[in-house]
Amino acid sequence: MRLFRFLTRKVRKTPDFLLLGGTKCGTTTLYNYLIRHPKIAKPMTKEIHFFSSKYHKGLDWYRMFFPLKTTKKMIFEASTSYLTDRHALYNISESLGSARFLVLLREPLAKAVSLWNHHYGFEEHHPFLVSPNLNYYLNEAKYHNFIETWFKYFDPIKFLFIKSEDLFKRPNTVFRKICLFLHIKFIRIQERKDNVKDSIITREIQEKFNNYFDETKKEVMKLTGLSW
């Protein structure tokens, strides 16, 4: 099978759209909804991270993960590293200039704490407030910095921004918007739980960062229309 994919790599499609993330915002949940639509093809691997860390392998290598050009289905992949990586953004603009993008954004403080919680078990054992990586977690949730950069390379009309909270609570309402954005028929989905968990925000964390993300929320509202 791998040999066949290698031999046919030049006649395989590249993605019509990308699910950019962000990390700990429900990407796995949305990915599982997307691959069940009859007009969307499942990639060989969910997170290829080609444009962020494997671009040196070349576009032909990337094509091996996708169906032949004869397919009538839409093609996509979902790598959470792309949204915040400027190198990935530049590489995507060079290779997938006509692509569209789905972007999941979670309430910023909830995102930062969930990202810490995700790393806690295998990278560190520090509480959130004294984590040596605290600035990283906080900066990853300052979405407006990344979105502004993406808009320098791509027309904002190519993006559909989705609140993670809406995906968790009203998945079919969100999926209807996605189908409209992708110009495919809406198919009702069965709600999934996957690994979505409530963010562990203590009272102490809430008090310390109560107004920390005010600017981010204000700018995200201007850029995307999303508000928390």
**CATH number assigned to the domain comprising residue 6:** 3.40.50.300
pLDDT for 3 equals 75
Partners of 92 in beta bridges: none
pLDDT for 121 equals 60
pLDDT tens-place values along the chain, 228 residues long: 777 777 788 889 999 999 998 888 999 999 999 999 999 998 999 899 999 999 999 999 999 999 998 999 999 999 999 999 999 999 999 999 899 999 999 999 999 999 998 876 655 678 889 999 999 999 999 999 999 999 999 999 999 999 999 999 999 999 999 999 999 999 999 887 655 555 678 999 999 999 999 999 999 999 999 999
pLDDT for 149 equals 97
pLDDT for 198 equals 59
pLDDT for 204 equals 94
pTM metric for this prediction: 0.91
pLDDT for 194 equals 59
Distance between CA atoms of residues 219 and 216, nearest Å: 5
Tell me if the bond preceding 22 is cis, omega within 30° of 0.
Answer: yes
pLDDT for 134 equals 94
Distance between CA atoms of residues 62 and 41, nearest Å: 15
What is the count of structural domains for the chain?
A: 1
User: Which strands, in side-by-side order, build the sheet including 159-163?
Assistant: 40-41, 74-78, 17-19, 100-105, 159-163
Domain of 102?
2-224
